[in-house]
C-alpha cells in the first residue's frame, strides 16, 4: 500500500515516521510532482497540483477537523474526503471554552486587576441559572463543549442544522430555530463548520438578538464573524465582551483594532491543536477499516461543506 | 419547632425568611441573649455566649463546609454539629480549579500579555500526559474537582487521610502515601479540611517534593500554607507559580508581599461561595430527616476536626 503525505508548512518527518509505524504494510512518502498515484493521501493545505495528480486515491485524509480551506480547492470528483473526528482536539476545546466562560461569569479578570492594586473585594458571582450558554454547531467538538459546560452547572442550549439530541441540552435547529436559540443566550459559543451558509453568521442581526450584555466566544473560523459588527455591538453595550481565537486574517495584522480593545480577549488560533500521535492513530485505524471494506466516521459531505 | 439563626456579619433576613418558608412547621428567630433553647440552631461564626446558651439544641448547623473556625470555640458536648455537604459549592470549586489549571497548562496569561503588544505567537501546549494533577483531600469538594480535571483529560492523583476509591483517579493515603503522591504532581490542588494534622502541611518540605517547576492551587484554608516557604520556593524556581484564594490573614493586608508577586494569582476567598437557596433547602431537608429519626450526611467528627 502506498500513502503520500502533503503538508507544506509543517515538518513532514514525524508524520512520515508515525504513519509508517502505525501501518507497517504501507510505504509512506512525502508527495513530490510526478509520483505515481497512491492508495491514500494525507494532506493539509496541499497545492492544487498535488490534488490533480493524486486524483485517483481511494481516500484523502485531512489533518484537521475543519475542511473549509480544502473545499476551496478543486477536489477530484468521487474521492472520499475524510476529516479528523477529534484526535485530542475536543478536550482541548472544552477546556478553552470553559476557561473563557469562567473568566466571564466569575469575573476573574476583574479580580486580577484588583490584585495589582492590592484590593480585596468580593463580588457577587453571576448565578449559573442566569447565565445560559448557547453552542452553535453540535458536531464532535460542539457536543463535547456542551457536555463540559452542562457538567459545570450551566443551562446549555444547542443550535445545529439538523435536529440533535444531547442529554441536558435544549436543542434548536435550522433557520426557524435560530431566533429563539439566540434570545436564550447570555454566552454564545461558535463551533460551526465554515460553509457558504454559515459565513458571516455572527453579525449585527444575530448578535443583536442575544440577551443584553451577552458574551461571545468564537473558536470556529474568523469568517463566521463580521468584525465591524462586533465592534459596533461592543460600543453600544449589546455585547459585554468576547473571546476570539480565530480571525478573518491570520496572523491578525498588528494594526488591527481588535488587539487594543479592552473587552476582547484574543488568542492565536490555539483553542484546539491537532495532536500528531492521536491523529496518526486515527488515520491508520480508518485506513485499516477502509481496506476491510468498512465505512468510517468523518467522511465529508462536499455539497454540505463539512 | 423552634429554630435560632446566628450569623453576625451576614444579613439575617433572607435566611430567616428562607428557613421559615422551607419549614412551615417551625418558628425561626434571630438569636439574641436570653432566648429559650431552640430545637435547632443555624450558625456562622457565632459568639461563644450563643453556643453556651443554646447548648441544648438537637443539632447545630454550620452555614458552610469548613468548620475549623467553629471548632475553635467551646462547643456544647454531645451536640450534633452538621456542616453543608455541597450546596452549590462543589461545582463552583470545580470551575475555579479548572480555570486556574487551564491558565497554567495552556499559558493563557502569556497569550493575554502577547495581545497587549499585538504579538501573534503560538506556543506548544504542555501535554496533558505531562501535567499530572494531585488533589489533597477527597471529600465532597475534592472528589468533584478530581472528576472535573479527569474529564478534561489530565492524569489525576488523590491523597486523603483514609483510602478512597474514585474512578480514574490514582489514590494515595496517609502519611506513608504522601511522598509518592507529591512526587507525582505537576500541579497540586489543596482541598483538605483544616485540622491540627493539616495545618502548615504546604511547606518547604512537602512543596519541595513536587515535580520541578510545579504549580500550587490553594482553595482550602490559608493556614495550610507556610507563606514564607512558598515565596522561597518561587524564588528558587522549584515552584513556577500559584493561584491562592485563601490566606492566613483575610482580608490579605495591603502591604503583604503576595499582592505584587508576578507569579501569584490571588482572589479574595471566592472560589466557592455558599449559595443561600441551596443551603436553606439542604438544612431544611436534614432537619426533616432528624425529626423522622433518620441519620444525615455532614455530621462533623469533632475529634477528627471535620
Say whether pLDDT at A87 is over 80. Answer: no
Q: Encode pLDDT of B36-53 as tens digits.
A: 999 999 999 999 999 999
Say whether pLDDT at B302 is over 80. Answer: yes
| Omega cis (within 30) before A110 | no
Q: Encode pLDDT of B165-198 as tens digits.
A: 999 999 999 999 999 999 999 999 999 999 999 9
pLDDT, residue B235, reads: 97
Query: A78: closest CA among A65, A59, A61, A54?
Result: A59
The region that residue B255 occupies, defined by phi over 0 for left and psi between -120 and 50 for alpha, beta otherwise, is alpha
Query: How far is B33 from B55, CA to CA, in rounded Å?
Result: 13
Tell me which of A109, A143, A270, A278 to substitute to probe the interface with B (most B C-beta atoms closer than 10 Å): A270
Q: To the nearest whole angstrom, how far is the Cα of A259 from the nearest Cα of chain B?
A: 6
Say whether pLDDT at A52 is over 90. Answer: yes
Query: B263: closest CA among B233, B220, B221, B229?
Result: B233
pLDDT, residue A88, reads: 85
Query: How far is B187 from B193, CA to CA, in rounded Å?
Result: 19
Say whether pLDDT at B66 is over 90. Answer: no
Catalytic residue among B32, B221, B261, B304: B221
Instruction: Answer yes or no: are the C-beta atoms of B131 and B157 closer than 8 Å.
Output: no
pTM (predicted TM-score): 0.89
CA angle A145, A147, A149 (to 5 degrees): 70
Burial environment of residue B252 by CB neighbours within 10 A (0 to 12, 13 to 18, 19 or more) = buried
3-class SS of residue A285: helix
Catalytic residue among A204, A221, A261, A292: A221
Say whether pLDDT at B127 is over 90. Answer: no
Say whether pLDDT at A199 is over 80. Answer: yes
Indicate the length of chain B as a whole number.
Answer: 306
Nearest CA in chain A to B276: A127
Say whether pLDDT at B77 is over 90. Answer: no
Q: To the nearest whole angstrom, how far is the Cα of A192 from the nearest Cα of chain B?
A: 22
Of A99, A121, A128, the CB nearest to B268: A121
Q: Which residues lie below 8 Å from residue B280, measured CB to CB, with a gap of 6+?
A: B15, B18, B19, B22
Query: Are A250 and B111 inside 8 Å of each other by CB?
Result: no
Residues of B in contact with A95 (CB under 8 A): 98, 102, 106, 152-153
Report the share of chain B in percent with pLDDT over 90: 90
User: pLDDT category, A64, cuts 50, 70, 90?
Assistant: confident
pLDDT, residue A267, reads: 98
Please, what sign has the CA dihedral across residues A292, A295, A298, A302? positive
Query: Are B128 and A91 inside 8 Å of each other by CB?
Result: yes
Say whether pLDDT at A105 is over 90. Answer: yes
Quick one: DSSP state of residue B126? P
Lowest average pLDDT, out of B19-23, B216-220, B276-280, goes to: B276-280
Residues of A in contact with B153 (CB under 8 A): 88, 91, 95
Say whether pLDDT at B10 is over 90. Answer: no
Say whether pLDDT at B76 is over 90. Answer: no
pLDDT, residue A126, reads: 85
Of B122, B250, B268, the CB nearest to A268: B122
3-class SS of residue A147: helix
Of B91, B102, B265, the CB nearest to A95: B102
Q: Encode pLDDT of A205-231 as tens digits.
A: 999 999 999 999 999 999 999 999 999
Mean of the pLDDT values across residues B115-123?
95
Instruction: Answer yes or no: are the C-beta atoms of A179 and A159 closer than 8 Å.
Output: no
pLDDT, residue A127, reads: 87
β-strand partners of A43: A6, A62
pLDDT, residue A78, reads: 85
Q: Which residues lie below 8 Å from residue A193, measured CB to CB, with a gap of 6+?
A: A66, A67, A68, A137, A139, A220, A305, A306
Residues of A in contact with B222 (CB under 8 A): none
CB pairs under 8 A between A and B: 107
Residues of A in contact with B250 (CB under 8 A): 120
Q: How many helices (H) and strands (E) does chain A have?
A: 9, 12
Q: Encode pLDDT of B211-259 as tens digits.
A: 999 999 999 999 999 999 999 999 999 999 999 999 999 999 999 999 9
pLDDT, residue A10, reads: 86
Rg (CA), chain A: 21
Q: To the nearest whole angstrom, how far is the Cα of A53 from the nearest Cα of chain B?
A: 33
Does the annotation count B269 as an active-site position?
A: yes
pLDDT, residue A31, reads: 97
User: pLDDT category, B125, cuts 50, 70, 90?
Assistant: confident
Instruction: Answer yes or no: are the C-beta atoms of B282 and B85 closer than 8 Å.
Output: yes
CB atoms within 10 A of CB A36: 9
CA B153 to chain centre: 23
pLDDT, residue A122, reads: 94
Q: To the nearest whole angstrom, how far is the Cα of A118 from the nearest Cα of chain B?
A: 5
Nearest CA in chain B to A271: B106
pLDDT, residue A66, reads: 85
Average pLDDT, chain B: 95
The region that residue B168 occupies, defined by phi over 0 for left and psi between -120 and 50 for alpha, beta otherwise, is left
Mean of the pLDDT values across residues A21-30?
96
pLDDT, residue A278, reads: 86
Catalytic residue among A117, A269, A276, A304: A269
Burial environment of residue B121 by CB neighbours within 10 A (0 to 12, 13 to 18, 19 or more) = exposed
pLDDT, residue B109, reads: 95
pLDDT, residue A45, reads: 92
Average pLDDT, chain A: 95
Residues of B in contact with A108 (CB under 8 A): 99, 267
Residues of B in contact with A269 (CB under 8 A): 122
Q: Encode pLDDT of A227-282 as tens digits.
A: 999 999 999 999 999 999 999 999 999 999 999 999 999 999 999 988 888 899 99
pLDDT, residue A211, reads: 98
Q: Which residues lie below 8 Å from residue B101, measured CB to CB, with a gap of 6+?
A: B133, B149, B152, B154, B187, B189, B215, B217
Query: Are A252 and B120 inside 8 Å of each other by CB?
Result: yes
Amino acid at each position: 500500500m502506498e500513502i503520500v503525505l502533503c503538508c507544506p508548512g509543517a515538518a513532514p518527518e514525524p508524520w512520515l515516521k508515525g504513519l509508517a509505524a502505525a501501518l507497517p504494510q504501507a510505504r509512506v512518502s512525502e508527495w513530490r510532482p510526478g509520483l505515481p498515484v497512491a492508495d491514500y493521501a494525507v494532506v493539509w493545505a496541499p497545492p492544487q497540483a498535488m490534488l490533480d495528480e493524486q486524483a485517483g486515491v481511494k481516500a484523502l485524509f485531512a489533518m484537521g477537523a475543519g475542511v473549509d480551506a480544502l473545499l476551496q480547492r478543486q477536489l477530484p470528483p468521487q474521492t472520499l474526503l475524510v476529516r479528523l473526528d477529534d484526535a485530542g482536539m475536543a478536550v482541548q476545546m472544552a477546556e478553552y471554552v470553559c476557561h473563557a466562560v469562567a473568566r466571564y461569569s466569575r469575573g476573574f479578570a476583574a479580580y486580577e486587576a484588583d490584585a495589582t492594586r492590592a484590593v480585596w473585594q468580593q463580588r457577587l458571582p453571576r448565578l449559573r441559572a442566569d447565565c445560559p450558554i448557547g453552542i452553535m454547531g453540535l458536531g464532535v467538538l460542539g457536543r463535547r463543549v456542551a457536555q463540559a459546560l452542562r457538567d459545570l452547572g450551566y443551562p446549555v442550549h444547542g443550535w445545529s442544522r439538523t435536529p440533535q439530541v444531547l442529554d441536558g441540552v435544549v436543542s434548536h435547529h435550522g433557520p426557524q430555530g435560530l431566533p429563539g436559540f439566540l434570545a436564550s443566550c447570555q454566552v454564545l459559543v461558535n463551533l460551526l463548520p465554515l460553509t457558504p451558509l454559515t459565513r458571516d453568521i455572527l453579525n449585527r442581526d444575530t448578535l443583536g438578538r442575544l440577551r443584553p450584555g451577552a458574551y461571545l466566544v468564537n473558536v470556529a473560523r474568523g469568517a463566521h464573524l463580521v468584525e465591524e459588527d462586533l465592534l459596533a455591538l461592543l460600543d453600544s453595550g449589546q455585547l459585554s465582551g468576547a473571546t476570539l481565537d480565530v480571525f478573518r486574517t491570520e496572523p491578525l495584522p498588528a494594526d488591527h483594532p481588535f488587539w487594543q480593545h479592552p473587552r476582547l480577549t484574543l488568542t492565536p488560533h490555539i483553542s484546539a491543536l491537532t495532536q500528531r500521535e492521536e491523529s496518526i492513530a486515527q488515520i491508520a485505524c480508518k485506513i485499516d477499516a477502509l481496506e476491510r471494506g468498512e465505512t468510517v466516521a468523518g467522511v465529508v459531505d462536499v455539497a454540505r461543506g463539512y
